[in-house]
Amino acid sequence: MTIKVKAVIGSTSSTSYNLKLVKFMAERYKEELEITPVLINDLEMFSIDIESEPTVAVQTFKDDVKDSDAVMFATPEYNFSIPGAMKNALDWLSRGGDFTLHGKTGFIVGSSMGVFGSVRAQIHLREILSNPALAPNLLPGNEVYIGAVHTKMDEEGNITDEATIAYLDTVVQNFIAFHKKQQAIAHA
């Protein structure tokens, strides 16, 4: 049985390397993971004024993420942190009392043209996700930081760097084992 994974894409760019990475992963791991990208481009800025009556785009986003077995976060790094659009999406997921992410297994991937591959963004993202109103159960110790991604991906969005592919293979297998273990604990 495949694990249904919703991948929140932290970039709103039409040429996002992180979206390309997620699409590559969706194809490569399709026998084990049903990965569906979830875009955040059309989300209204969070405001307590509209929290109880979110826009259709916001409610659709929250429902889409909730309809999953697990969640992946794919983030670039902007100014040593996550993009504002990603923070806005997380604000929406944390509000409304429905605990959209609470207890879902998840993992984080990130790529950038810089050498650090979104490491600082992922540090901030993990801190934000530790909020009790979010609280996904993140895979520990398997950070995916793909630096200089533009040199490791072809024009079609395929990862061409064998070491990167091998590492992704390892992380995905670790995530599958982690997910199964968490599911067994939850149903014990």
Q: How many CA atoms lie within 13 A of 58 on its CB side?
A: 21
Confidence label for 167 from pLDDT (cuts 50, 70 and 90): very high
Q: What percent of the chain has pLDDT over 90?
A: 97
Position with higher pLDDT, 125 vs 1: 125
Confidence label for 96 from pLDDT (cuts 50, 70 and 90): confident
The pLDDT value given to residue 188: 87
Mean pLDDT of 15-24: 98
The pLDDT value given to residue 97: 87
Residue 42 DSSP one-character state? T
Tell me the two tokens of residue 125. 């993202």
Residue 12 has pLDDT above 90, yes or no: yes
Q: pLDDT digit string (tens) for 112-122?
A: 999 999 999 99
List of E strands, 75-177: 105-111, 137-138, 144-146
The dihedral sign for the CA sequence 162, 175, 38, 118: negative
Rg of the chain over Cα atoms, rounded to whole angstroms, equals 16
Mean pLDDT of 1-13: 96
Residue 52 has pLDDT above 90, yes or no: yes
Residue 126 has pLDDT above 90, yes or no: yes
Q: How far is CA 103 from the centre of its chain?
A: 15
Residue 72 has pLDDT above 90, yes or no: yes
Using CA atoms, how far apart are residues 18 and 97, in angstroms rounded to an integer? 29
Confidence label for 1 from pLDDT (cuts 50, 70 and 90): confident
pTM: 0.96
List the one residue out of 40, 99, 104 whose CA is nearest residue 72.
Answer: 104
Q: What percent of the chain has pLDDT over 70?
A: 100
Residue 157 has pLDDT above 90, yes or no: yes
Residue 172 has pLDDT above 90, yes or no: yes
